[in-house]
Structures are given as C-alpha cells and as structure tokens.
Amino acid sequence: MTYEFTTEDLKEIEKIKSRYPEVKPATLPVLWIAQNRFGHVDPDVQKLVAATLDLPEAHVHGVATFYTQYYKEKKGKYVLDVCTCLSCQLCGGYDMLHYLEEKLGIKTGETSNDGMFTLNQVECLGACGYAPMLQITNDKYVNNLTPEKIDKLVDSLKKGEEPSYEKMEMPLRKNN
Amino acid sequence: MSTVDWKNFEPVLIPDIKDLHKIDVYEKNGGYQALKSILTDKKKWADPKSVVNEVKEANIRGRGGAGFNAGLKWSFMPPADGGARYLACNGDESEPGTFKDRKIFEYNPHLFIEGALIAAYAMEITSIYVYIRGEYLPYIKMMEKAIEDAYDKGYIGKSIFGSSFNVDFYVHSGAGAYICGEETSMLESLEGKRGYPRVKPPFPAQKGLWGRPTTINNIETLSHVPAVINRGAQWFKNIGAPTHPGPILYGISGHVNKPGVYELPSGIPVIDLINEVAGGIRNGKKLKAVIPGGSSTPILRADQLEGITMDADSLRTVGSMLGTAGMVVMDEDTDMVDVLWRIAHFYHHESCGQCTPCREGTGWLEKVLLKIKNGEGEVRDLDLLLDVTTQMEGRTICALADAAAWPVRFTINRFRDEFEARCKKSVHALA
Ligand SMILES: Cc1cc2nc3c(=O)[nH]c(=O)nc-3n(C[C@H](O)[C@H](O)[C@H](O)COP(=O)(O)O)c2cc1C
Ligand code: SF4
Ligand code: FES
C-alpha cells in the first residue's frame, strides 16, 4: 500500500525539523505523526517517513523496530497494554491480564477476530502506585484495575467510548 | 533515632496550591522570581559561575538514581566557546517502582521549567530538551503547553528579562524503551537513533548532543533549583539528612494502604514512611521486604529496617541505595522467587544487546530463575546465578547490567532459604 502525509502533517513535520540542528532527530517525532495518521508504521509507512525526511530506509527501519511503542504491523482498534511489571505483579497485574484473555477470548499478543482488541503485556508504565493498570493504544491509563472496572472498560470501548484522563491525586494534597 | 521533622514539613516541589500548573498562578506565587534574580540582580549574582557555586553548595544530589551533586556536575562543563551547548532533561522515568516526575509535569511544570532555565544560564547553555517517555502522552501535552506559555511571557526565547541570555526549550518524546533513561542512550534517542548507550569517555560534558557540551539532569533534580536560588543553599542543606539533603518525591507502591507520591524530607525513617505516611500494610498483613528506590536497588528484609532512614548513607549501612526513592513494599505472602524472576525478565527485555555480558547475562538470569520458579531448579543453580552476576558487573558500556545483577545477588543472599526451599521441592519430587 502507498501512504501519503496530509498537508497539515507536512507543515507539522517542517516545524519539528526546526527544533533540531539536523534532520535525523526528526525521525522519532515523524514516526509518531505517521503512526497517528495511519495507525501503524509498517515497512511501507517507514518508506514514506524515510522519503519525507530524505534519510536512508535502513535508518528509519532500525529506529522503528528499536522502540516498542511503534506498531510494525496493523493492530486492533484498541491496544490494551497491561502492565505486569514489579508493582503491578504484586498487586494482581497477571490476574488482570488473564481476566482479559478470558474475556476477549484471545491470548496475550493476539488480536480479536473482529479487529477490536489487541492484548499485550508490557513493562512498567510509571504508574506503580496505581497498580494494577493498563494503557489504551499508547494513550489513556486506566488505573487500579479490578474485574468490574475491566468489564465496564471493555463495554464502553465496544461502543467506541474511550475513557478520559484519570487524574491520580497526591495523597497529602487537598486543594486539587 | 531520627531527628528529621517530617511531620511539619511544608512541600516545596508540589505545594498544595490550586491550579499551580497555570502560569499566572505560578507567577502569583513567586514563580520566575529566581530566574529574574539571577538575570538582573548583579550584586547578588555576579556571573553564571556564582549560580553554579550556590547550587553546588546546596548539594542537590541527582534524583535520577545516581545521587551525584548537581552543581558539581554543572561545573564539569568546559568554558563556553560561542558554539551550541545543551541541557538534556531526563523525564524518561522507566525504572520499575518510579512514578514521581510525572507529578511535576502535572502539578508544577513551571517550577521545572524555571529550574532548567536557571541551569541553562549557569552553564551558558543555548538549547534545552526535555525527554519524556512516550507513554506519558498527557504529560507530554502538559509540558508542551507550559513551555508555550513560558515562551509567550518571555521567560524562554531571546533577551530574557532584558538580559543577553537567550535559550530555546523543546519537548522530545520517547517511544518505549527503558534504556533511553540511561543518559547517553537518551542522547542517541534525541539524535533520532536507536537508544544504544555510548562508551564513556568522552563524557557528555565534553561531547554530548551532536558532539557538543551537554549536561543531563533528572526532572526532580532541576525542580529543586529555584528554591535554592530564592532561599539559599543553607536552607536546602538544613532539610532532611545532612549528607543527602532536601525534599524528595517518594513514590510508594506495592502492598500498602495508601500508595502514591509523597513529598517529604530526605532521611525519613523507612518504617515511618510505610506505616505512618503510606498507611501501613494492606489487610493487616506483616511487612516482609522493601525495595527502597526502584527495582535495581537491593532489597531489604523487614528485620533490616530498624533505625534505617531514606538517604544514601543510612541505606548503605544495610547494603542498599536510595536510587529513585520509588519504594516497593511487599507483605508476608509475597513469593520472592516470583518477584525476582519478574525483575530479571524486565532487565532481559530492556537490555539493548550491545554488550555480551549484559545481553547473555540477563538472558541467563531470567532463564534460570524461571526454571527455579517452575520448581525445576537445583540448589547449585543459585550459585550459578550468583556467578553470572559477578560476570556482568562493571564489564559493560552502561549500568543496566549492574542494575540487573544487584537484585539477583541480594535477593538470593537475603532470602536464600526461600530459594533453596523451592529448589529442594523439585529434588524431593524427583526422588
Ligand atoms: C539503565 C538506566 C536507566 C536509567 N533511567 C533513568 C530514568 O528513567 N530517569 C532518570 O532521570 N535517570 C535515569 N538513569 C540515570 C541517568 O543515566 C542519569 O544519571 C541521570 O538522568 C542524571 O540526572 P541526575 O544527576 O539529576 O540524577 C538511568 C540510568 C541507567 C543506567
Ligand atoms: S550494559 Fe546492557 S543495556 Fe547497557 S549498553 Fe551494554 S548491553 Fe546495552
Ligand atoms: S510496575 Fe506497573 S506501572 Fe510500574
């Protein structure tokens, strides 16, 4: 498939390039723009990024494959990244992962047949005090997971409703 | 016995002021006055060096994990030669158990921006980048907004406060890689490459971003700077533990009733932090173990904690470290074999693979621990694990290999019975 950036994307890319003394540093941000536009950065998208920045394809490919957040292939509409790292493990992260496997009828790493959900297990997401938790498609965090909270989440995602930013209070503060 | 008066401590990094993240509110509460002072008050601040000296005197020990005196690090920058110089602010925050810098992005972004600007002036830096892990999308947006507002008000840009100081400030988002928190890996990532740590020397102060002098500091470290400028080094040194002074953002997770981030002085007794601040162990259980400052810091048994406080010196006496002050608390039901296997899995997953001892070593640690966890281990596997750790430490480009080795060494040494029991089980089963 051939992909193209929109005029707005290209304008944004020019802005990004102006932040650095050379063009290479734009690789990560432009891969982000591409992934936000096309939903993934498969080899064809990597080609587009390389051509747009006039950088070798091998370089863009090397970068895209080094970082876990770039999707190297098409994923489900919602990617659920469940943290099972240290603090989440202690607080039931694996239980949540297994609950989701059962609920969605897929194994970790798989995408559901209807293309709605991809389920992953990930390393610490910097939300350890709110464990267990998951992240939806590189965006919102859902904290302090329970089976009930997962039920509600999956139901609303099926309706296309994404949760909003969940602000986690600092316990000693009262005036938030 | 601790003399640290943590109960009456007034937060400095995250004071309880509504909407402090908004630039107007920050200004109304004395924001950007430290920056103004160093740029305009020539009686107090003769030159950039005087700022470096004050910060050095305060002894702000790096909050990114290594605990190095920030001002001392700044003094390593070579004299300005008219070319580009960089400050790279480390907001990668990926060490398991660590979730504190995000509170600064959310609640007090301008404090961090002001601290970074002061650092830039002190080191005659021309551009600042803040590297934020890609998963922190909301915080990346918050920081972009805060930086835009500071540009609009003239705190960033050209002739700040009418002085000859010019500086630019940009956000750079990561994309999922723990290793990019290591300072030279972060520089590679900023340069648009895979995050392979660089061989040192040359150190970043000599050859950093694009071969130019660069200083790397953690977000919290830089956020301490404005108060040091406003209130003086002596004020900072009087807070908390004398050799590791100042407020700290403690992140507490695991089996406590009230997990979260708390701003308190350094040197608070570990037991007070768990029982009084974080509300004690969940479900009335007993405390079993604590990882004091992120997954790489050596684990401590509950019986080792008597009289131990949260600062480098005190933790060293029991063979651990303060690290990122991200404390992970474990109750009596915790299975140490499972925990250690999960930590080993993390480091294996995150090793960049450049160095053989790290690439192979982390793999071995995980594999052997999985075997033990599955009840198929033998007691001699424990010695194999310890042997692997000695072959990893100090033999690699970056400290990830050490970070992976320490938990294995210390968890096995401090919970040897538990590991042996799991191994013996299989021997009996086979007999
Ligand atoms: C494997 C590894 C990961 C690291 N991750 C982080 C991180 O996420 N955030 C951070 O501030 N420092 C991290 N560090 C420490 C940095 O290399 C560096 O020491 C620190 O950012 C310097 O800032 P400071 O002196 O203000 O602490 C890491 C170090 C290693 C070896
Ligand atoms: S020690 Fe490990 S993570 Fe660090 S450079 Fe070597 S292989 Fe990469
Ligand atoms: S361990 Fe899950 S967010 Fe840190």
Ligand 1 center from residue B218 Cα (angstroms): 7
pLDDT of A39-78, one tens digit each?
999 999 999 999 999 999 999 999 999 999 999 999 999 9
Q: Select the residue of B97, B190, B192 nearest A63 (Cβ to Cβ).
A: B192
Q: What token pair was written down for A114? A: 């209807």
**Residue A112 has what DSSP assignment?**
-
Q: What is the pLDDT of residue B3?
A: 67
For residue A132, is the peptide bond before it cis, meaning its omega torsion is within 30 degrees of 0? yes
Domain boundary (B237, B265, B293) is at B237
pLDDT score of B374 more than 90: yes
Quick check: helix, strand or coil at residue A22? coil
Instruction: Say whether both B232 and B351 belong to one domain.
Output: no
Among residues A139, A113, A143, which one has the least CA distance to residue A127? Answer: A143
Give the one of A24, A69, A140 whose C-beta lies nearest to B176's C-beta.
Answer: A69
- Interchain contact B131–A (C-beta under 8 A): no
CATH of the domain at B343: 1.20.1440.230
Indicate whether residue B296 lines ligand 1 (CB < 6 A): no
Helices B400-414, B379-392: axis angle to 10 degrees equals 150
Q: Is residue B297 part of a domain?
A: no
3-class state of residue B322 by DSSP: coil
Q: Which residue pairs, CB below 8 angstroms and at least 24 apart, start in B232-238?
A: B232/B54, B233/B54, B233/B55, B233/B57, B233/B58, B233/B59, B236/B58, B236/B59, B236/B60, B237/B57, B237/B58, B237/B59
Report the domain count for chain B.
2
CA count, 13 A, side-chain hemisphere, A146: 2
Chain A hits for B175, Cβ within 8 Å: 28, 31-32, 67-70
CB hemisphere CA count around B401 (13 angstroms): 23
User: CATH number of the domain that B180 lies in?
Assistant: 3.40.50.11540
Mean pLDDT of B347-367: 98
Residue pLDDT, tens place only, A97-147:
999 999 999 999 999 999 999 999 999 999 999 999 999 999 999 999 999
CB of B20 within 8 A of CB of B29?
A: yes
Residue that the structure tokens 């400028």 belong to: B229
B164 within some domain: yes
User: Does the pLDDT at position B156 exceed 90?
Assistant: yes
Is residue B9 included in any domain, yes or no?
no
CATH 1.10.10 residue spans of chain A: 7-66
Task: Give A32→chain B minimum CA distance, Å.
Answer: 8
Q: B57 in a domain, yes or no?
A: yes
Full domain range(s) for residue B406:
336-422
The sign of the torsion formed by the CA atoms of A71, B99, B23, B54 equals: negative
Query: What pLDDT score does B71 carry?
Result: 98
The pLDDT mean for chain B works out to 96
Q: Which of B17, B103, B135, B172 to probe the A interface (max A CBs under 10 A)? A: B135
In a domain, B70, yes or no: yes
Do residue B295 and residue A86 have CB atoms under 8 angstroms apart?
yes
Measured distance CA(B169)–CA(B128) in Å, rounded: 5
- CB distance A131–B259 less than 8 Å? yes
Average pLDDT of span B404-408: 98
| Chain B residues inside the 8 Å CB shell of A13 | none
Q: Is the pLDDT of residue B88 over 60?
A: yes
Would residue B187 count as lying in a domain?
yes
Which residue intervals of chain A bear CATH 3.40.30.10? 78-174
**B406 C-alpha vs ligand 2 centroid, how far in Å?**
15
What is the pLDDT at residue A135?
Answer: 98
Span from the CA of B59 to the centroid of ligand 3 (angstroms)? 30
B218 bridge partner residues:
B90
In a domain, B129, yes or no: yes
Q: Are B73 and B207 contained in the same domain?
A: yes
Contact B126, B85 (CB under 8 A): yes
- Mean pLDDT over residues B160-177, rounded? 98
Q: Residue A175: list chain B partners with CB under 8 A.
A: 16-18
Indicate the residue among B189, B215, B237 that finishes a domain: B237
Which chain B residues in 14-33 lie under 8 Å from chain A, judged by CB atoms?
Answer: 14, 16-18
pLDDT average, residue stretch B63-74: 97
pLDDT for res B32: 98
Q: How far is the CA of B292 from the centre of ligand 3 (A)?
A: 15
Mean pLDDT, to the nearest integer, of B11-18?
96
B10 lies within 8 A of chain A by CB: no
**Given CB atoms, is B141 within the 8 Å cutoff of chain A?**
no
pLDDT mean over A156-167: 96
At residue B431 the predicted structure's pLDDT band, cuts being 50, 70 and 90, is very low
Ligand 1 atom 25: residue of nearest CA: B62
pLDDT in tens, A14-37: 999 999 999 999 999 999 999 999
- Express each pLDDT in B204-223 by its tens digit: 999 999 999 999 999 999 99
CB B404 within 8 A of CB B395: no
Identify the bridge partners of residue B170 per DSSP, sorted by sequence position. Answer: B129
Instruction: Tally C-beta pairs within 8 A across A and B.
Output: 162
Residue B120 has pLDDT above 90, yes or no: yes
Residue B295 belongs to a domain: no
**Chain A interface, mutation test: which of B127, B129, B250, B253, most A Cβ atoms within 10 Å?**
B253
What is the distance in angstroms between the Cα of B320 and the nearest Cα belonging to chain A?
A: 18
Assess if CATH 3.30.1360 describes domain A7-66.
no
Nearest alpha carbon to residue A23 among A47, A49, A58, A2: A49
Task: Indicate whether B216 and B75 sit together in one domain.
Answer: yes
Q: Which residues of A touch B136 (CB under 8 A)?
A: 126
Q: Where are the alpha helices (DSSP H) in B153-279?
A: 183-190, 219-223, 225-231, 233-237, 270-272
> CATH number of A78-174: 2.102.10.10, 3.40.50.2000, 3.40.30.10, 3.10.20.340?
3.40.30.10
- Check the CA dihedral B310-B311-B317-B321 and report its sign: positive
8 Å CB contact of B254 and A67: no
Please give the number of the atom of ligand 2 that sits closest to the Cα of B354: 7
Report if pTM > 0.80: yes
Distance CA A67, CA B176 (A): 5
* pLDDT one-digit tens code per residue, B255-290: 999 999 999 999 999 999 999 999 999 999 999 999
ipTM of the complex: 0.98
Q: Is the pLDDT of residue B428 over 70?
A: no
End of a domain among B216, B237, B258? B237
Q: Is the CB of B311 under 6 A from ligand 1?
A: no
- Distance, CA B216 to ligand 1 centroid (Å)? 9
For residue B94, the ligand 1 atom closest to its alpha carbon is 8
Flag whether pLDDT at B426 surpasses 80.
Answer: no
The best mutation among B218, B321, B324 to test binding of ligand 1, ranked by most ligand atoms within 8 Å of the C-beta, falls on B218
Distance between CA atoms of residues A154 and A96, nearest Å: 13
Candidate from A162-171, B70-79, B103-112 with smallest mean pLDDT: A162-171
pLDDT number for residue A176:
58
Whether the bond into B202 is cis, omega within 30 of 0: yes
How far is the centre of ligand 3, averaged over its atoms, from the C-alpha of A125 (Å)? 5
Q: What is the radius of gyration, based on Cα positions, of chain B?
A: 22
**What is the DSSP-derived secondary structure letter of residue B69?**
B
Q: How far is A155 from chain B (nearest CA, A)?
A: 24
